[in-house]
Structure 1
């Protein structure tokens, strides 16, 4: 459903691994006419979340209420669908609410929230037409909080959210929640800290960096962090929050005013969106650099599988459209963050799309395909962008180039390519166990020796 701009209530998302920073920024946005919402997901394994709603009325009256919200299924999706999204629609119609601030749990990625607001259908609300929350609210900005002292380590590591201690803790509101009110559920979340850290910053319209303690601050490490942030979110204005000068309402207002035209403001990207967004610096700074790779030849699946190791050490993140020789009709999408990598199907190439489906293809995608169209292979190609901080760009490019088909293999033709050994499943997580590389297509592959 297309959302038509109107008098929708603006929503500001405040996100980040820096839980304290997120709370400070959210608090600085608590001006008259603003309602703040926070769902604490740390009790999801008990089938409940704690929702806190703080409203500052136009006359300055500040009210706050925390509620235990029980869920049939303990998951973030249920929290969104059955509590947050309906609440957003209700708040839109309150005359005392001029703005909504969502203080996101540190495990949530703002892109997922934005997509849910615009696409998840909310039904059976008395007095409301069925539709997404985006009928009533509009993402005005996403502010992401980064702790200078440890964000880059988090964004380049390979530990999971559970290993980082961000899951399965039991906060309470006032007294402990009675066991009789808890529901025992299984809550699985195998995302890595790096995937969440990178996803949050890449979606930011503005960044707040909490400065490290001056007594232990490493100027080189700080400069390297800024080099990463300005390439990962090049359009985002950045404010440095000093320990002796915490975030204030005037700081928050100035930061929001500094957001540039063309910022995301909740816009969700996909595999056919530009890989480079916002004209980031392409030069090297503090060892941080963007590496690009393009090829009009398909990858040999086995050689590509081996080449992926080059993306798991010294690389902040990578994104790629992949043409596999053994899968001529389907484009594959590759994403990595730190020591975690995922390859999955992302729909058909335009050249392999049935004629009756072409009318529904995005116009930008069609235009980009036309620019690189080949009479034999159509729009098939491979393109990758990687943000490195310790890896050698030349080694990455050579590894990927060596994984492409040779002249002799190209001469064999597409029919011969289908017989090549293919270690990729429909969803493929890397690194993987050597003895699991021939797993079934429906198998998600992983190994324990993450780098």
Structure 2
């Protein structure tokens, strides 16, 4: 049974795209989990078919959250529907603040289900505002778990970066199209009513999507300024001085709407560090070892996408260790950004020394 997944923070746009997909087959069914009452321990499952039938069922879960809903109700519901054999397509319309990757990978892992498409729907009139807001999900009543501290910008960005198609409600401006194209260069942007065109015989490749979006091995490229939007990719094979980088973090994070990638710290030659920023919200984390730091036997345990990325970037002296960061923003001063990053690089004398006051040392213990 084919599955089409539709996500998006903007409910009207998402519903229009889901309806367009539903109309492609008289034997299709749409399912949507309303997570507005997760705090009360319940989720409402809504289904409607292309034939006009509607059902609603209240589902009580052990822990009412998005991941529990996926595990305890959505996947079992899809498997039951596939086994019944009455529908050839189910359109999964996700709740506003649900990100697509976990759902897509869970569906693709089941042999009975074929993930045919992943679509994110966007309201073009709200895109720029929501990508630049400082609101948390809780500010808009969109949090879906007790400890959901994500921001609106963080969720919307991840929804845009992952899918194979972007469905747009409203008339996009050239600025809007440039922003979407640089956040997800591989996803065509079409009107919501055209979301169903040209995908019926396809299968969404979750491995390729992970390779595009996982900063530990994704490959980023520059995009020159277009309608005010640009992407700067910074690649170097010299480590960063941890102290100078720590002092520059606030300035580096604030210059862009989106920053992502991996970096190499002097004093931590084994640890690949991950950069994940949404405006001035920045997460720096330990992404595991560089492949050059692993014994040969351990390479078989590394995901093939990461091995391929490491071999593409391999340097005879430092292996896959490198700086590979991409920043997408509006009216960015690219030269100033690169100069600031370069100023954080360690000198030859600093590269081999110990850093007793490394602000990132706690991350090396993970």
TM-score, L = length of structure 1: 0.74
Alpha-carbon distance between aligned partners in 1 of 2:222 and 2:263, rounded to the nearest angstrom = 24
Q: How far 1:421 moved relative to its partner?
A: 2.3
Indicate yes or no: 2:125 matched with 1:149.
Answer: yes
Do residues 136 (structure 1) and 112 (structure 2) align?
yes
Q: Among residues 14, 18, 24, which one is paired with 2:16 in the alignment?
A: 24
Paired position in structure 2 for 1:286: 227
Residues 3-402 of structure 1 aligned to structure 2 (within 5 Å): 9-31=1-23, 32-56=26-50, 61-118=51-108, 132=109, 134-167=110-143, 187-211=146-170, 222-240=173-191, 247=193, 251-254=194-197, 256=199, 267-269=209-211, 270-276=214-220, 282-402=223-343
193-202 vs 67-76, which moves further = 67-76
Q: Which runs of 5+ in 1 are unaligned?
A: 1-8, 119-131, 169-185, 213-218, 242-246, 428-440, 443-451
1:307-327 C-alpha deviation (Å, 9 max, x unpaired): 222343341211111112232
SS in 2 for 1:81: helix
Does the CA-based 8 Å contact 1:13-1:102 persist in structure 2?
A: yes
Seen in structure 2, the aligned counterparts of structure 1 residues 149 and 107 have a Cα distance that, compared at 3 Å, is same
Q: What is the RMSD of the two structures over their aligned residues, measured on CA atoms? A: 2.7
Cα drift, residue 200 of structure 1: 0.6
Q: Where does structure 2 lack aligned partners over 5 or more consecutive residues?
A: none
Mapped to 2, the partners of 1:211 and 1:258 lie a distance apart of 27
The Cα of 1:343 is off from its aligned counterpart by 1.2
Distance 1:150 1:113 in 2: 25
Are the aligned partners of 1:47 and 1:71 in contact in 2 as well (CA < 8 Å)? yes
Whole-angstrom distance in 2 between the partners of 1:266 and 1:39? 27
Q: Is the 8 A contact 2:218 2:261 kept in 1?
A: no
In structure 2, how many angstroms separate the alpha carbons of the residues matched to 1:319 and 1:72? Answer: 35
Contact 1:326–1:420 under 8 Å retained in 2: no
Deviation at 1:46, TM superposition (A): 1.0
Q: For 1:371 and 1:65, how far apart are their aligned partners in 2? A: 51
Whose radius of gyration is greater, 1 or 2? 1
C-alpha distance in structure 2 between counterparts of 1:388 and 1:337, whole Å:
10
Distance in 2 between the 1:308 and 1:396 partners? 12
When residues 167 and 15 of structure 1 are mapped into structure 2, their CA distance, relative to the original with a 3 A threshold, is same
- CA drift at 1:75: 1.7
Query: Structure 1 residue 295: deviation in Å?
Result: 1.2
Deviation digits for residues 91-117 of structure 1 (CA, Å, limit 9, x no counterpart) = 222221101111011100111211233
The DSSP-based 3-state class of the residue aligned with 2:250 is helix
TM-score of the superposed pair, with normalisation by structure 2: 0.90
**Is the deviation greater in 361-370 or in 192-201?**
361-370
Deviation track 1:280-329 (CA, whole Å, cap 9, x = no partner) reads 78221122111010111111222212222234334121111111223221
